[in-house]
């Protein structure tokens, strides 16, 4: 795929069908986001973080999300350390939804797509 500059998109399942559909698109960079540079000034020091009793018990996604929430790492990153910020937190879940997607001027004929949310913050 790389040699032919292709990327794979999951199109979901059409009503009444049991198998999912996919398509190949070119150029491959349609599927990827180029992350913005993070300047040294925006890198925060976490030396004051004191490990909790369960921090190193496992390396699951759920444990890591708990760790960054419990230690205020997400609060520092998302709200600049604002101690008044009190976001609502929603834990992992899976949902299915019929969605419409566009990539540039290309409309993708998506059907029912299952998506997973690991953690959601709602604030303000």
- As a three-state string, the secondary structure of the chain is CCCCCCEEEEEEECCCCCCCEEEEECCHHHHCCCCCCCCHHHCCCCCCCCCCCCCCCCCCHHHHHHHHHHCCHHHHHHHCCCCCCCCEEECCEEEEEECCEEECCEEECCCEEEEEECCEEECC
pLDDT digits (tens, 9 = 90+) for 28-72: 888 888 889 988 877 777 777 788 887 788 888 888 888 888 888
Asked if pLDDT for residue 18 goes beyond 80, the answer is yes
Domain ranges of the chain: 46-86
More confident residue, 46 or 118: 118
Mean pLDDT rounded to a whole number for the chain: 84
Give residue 3's pLDDT.
Answer: 94
In this prediction, residue 83 has a pLDDT band, given cuts at 50, 70 and 90, of confident
In this prediction, residue 75 has a pLDDT band, given cuts at 50, 70 and 90, of confident
């Amino acid at each position: 795929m790389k040699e032919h500059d292709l990327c794979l998109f999951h199109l979901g399942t059409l009503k009444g069908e049991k198998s999912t559909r996919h398509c190949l698109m070119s150029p491959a960079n349609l599927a990827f986001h180029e992350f913005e540079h993070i300047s040294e000034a925006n890198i925060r020091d976490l030396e004051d973080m004191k490990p909790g009793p369960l921090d190193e018990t496992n390396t699951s996604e759920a444990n890591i999300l708990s760790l960054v929430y419990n230690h205020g790492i997400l609060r520092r990153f998302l709200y600049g350390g604002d101690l008044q910020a009190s976001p609502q937190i929603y834990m992992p879940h899976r949902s299915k939804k019929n969605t419409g997607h566009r990539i540039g001027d290309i409309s993708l004929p998506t059907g029912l797509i299952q998506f997973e949310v690991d953690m959601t913050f709602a604030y303000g």
